[in-house]
């Protein structure tokens, strides 16, 4: 293991481990001691990395309040407050979203369905722009305080950057900001069609974030809302049991895929952090 301070490979593992059981090392070059989490976002946490990642995952995935999460882990012998859960969500949910965005780059289809839904932030309605492809996989999501030309352009630019390519076809509702935003941010060769019926698949897909945030009774700040919505969509898409519309998978296959993806996600985050 390379030294996180001087990047030297001349390190030697020590016999003593940390209180949480992580291996310790000594660098022969700079003479410093460090452990497996030194230099990562999880350094100085009083709890194991996999436990913190599971807390954040459950918080995003299921309809749980901050206090619900603390009670569930209290039964398992981990004692922390709901404020700790709030802090971990703020710190590690963006890391999770960034890792999943990089992982799915270039995998979205060429036919996009774009629409926006309402999210209440501090008593005020904001607009969550979302896009999926022809198979229902996530293209991108972005929270905006306004629904206008500037917001639509920012969303399409961000979506192209995340996915890595522009679509051949975009389906939207009849809002007048979309035609110009598509033409100016992507290309005039991108076909654009407006149909509320063809966009029903995205209207149904909005139920994921709607059902998750209703028990929370809205968000306190715009930053918290944007962070949560983005991480929720990325995690929901990653754990989605079907990758193709109409694909038939048994319950045992879905459960096995869920466990495999969750284990891969934890390994990815620990390695990347």
Task: For residue 256, count other CB atoms closer than 10 A to its CB.
Answer: 12
Residues with Cβ within 8 Å of residue 227, at least 6 apart in sequence: 89, 90, 93, 94, 97
Kindly provide the b/e burial profile for residues 19-28, where b requires at least 16 CB atoms within 10 angstroms of the residue's own CB: eeeeeebebe
Residue 44 is predicted with a pLDDT of 84
On the CB side of 264, how many CA atoms lie within 13 Å of its CA? Answer: 12
| CA gap 201, 132 in Å, rounded | 9
Instruction: For residue range 161-189, list pLDDT tens digits in order.
Output: 999 999 999 999 888 999 999 999 998 89
Strand ranges across the sheet with 23-27: 11-17, 23-27, 33-35
Q: Model confidence over 198-257: pLDDT tens digits?
A: 888 899 999 999 999 888 878 999 999 999 999 999 999 999 887 676 677 788 888 898
| Most distant CA pair in the chain, distance | 66
Torsion angle in degrees (nearest 10) through CA of 91, 92, 96, 98 = 30
Residue linked to tokens 């039964």: 75
Query: What is the value of pTM for the model shown?
Result: 0.88
* CB of 234 closer than 8 Å to CB of 96: yes
Tens digit of each residue's pLDDT (9 = 90 or more) over 56-90: 999 999 999 999 999 999 999 999 999 999 999 99
Residue 60 phi, psi dihedral angles, 5° rounding: -80, -40
Among the four given CATH numbers 3.30.420.10, 3.40.50.300, 3.90.1150.10, 3.40.470.10, the one describing domain 111-220: 3.30.420.10
175-194 CB burial, b ≥16 within 10 A, e <16: beebeebbeebbeeebebee
In the chain, domain spans: 1-39, 41-103+237-243+254-273, 111-220
**Angstrom distances, CA of residue 66 to CA of 63, 83, 163, 209, 263:** 10, 8, 32, 17, 23
């Amino acid at each position: 293991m390379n030294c996180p301070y001087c990047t030297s490979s001349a390190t030697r593992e020590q016999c003593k481990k940390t209180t949480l059981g992580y291996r310790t090392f000594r660098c022969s070059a700079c003479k410093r001691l460090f452990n497996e989490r030194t230099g990562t976002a999880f350094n100085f946490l009083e709890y194991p990395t996999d436990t913190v990642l599971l807390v954040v995952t459950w918080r995003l995935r299921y309809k749980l309040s901050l206090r619900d999460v603390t009670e569930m882990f209290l039964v398992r012998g981990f004692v922390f407050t709901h404020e700790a859960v709030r802090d971990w969500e703020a710190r590690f949910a963006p890391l999770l979203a960034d890792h999943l965005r990089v992982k799915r780059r270039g995998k979205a289809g060429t036919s996009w369905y774009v629409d926006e839904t309402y999210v209440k932030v501090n008593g005020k309605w904001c607009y969550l722009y979302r896009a999926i492809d022809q198979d229902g996989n996530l293209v991108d999501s972005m929270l905006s305080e306004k629904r206008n030309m500037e917001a639509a352009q920012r969303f399409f630019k961000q979506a192209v950057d995340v996915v890595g390519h522009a679509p051949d076809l975009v389906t939207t509702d009849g809002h007048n900001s979309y035609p110009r935003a598509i033409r100016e941010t992507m290309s005039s060769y991108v076909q654009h069609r407006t149909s509320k019926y063809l966009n029903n698949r995205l209207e149904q897909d909005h139920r994921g974030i709607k059902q998750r945030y209703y028990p929370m009774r809205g968000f306190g700040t715009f930053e918290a809302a944007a962070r949560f919505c983005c991480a929720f969509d990325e995690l929901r898409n990653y754990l989605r049991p079907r990758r193709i519309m109409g694909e038939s998978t048994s319950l045992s296959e879905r459960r096995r895929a869920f466990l495999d993806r969750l284990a891969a996600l934890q390994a990815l985050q620990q390695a990347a952090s």
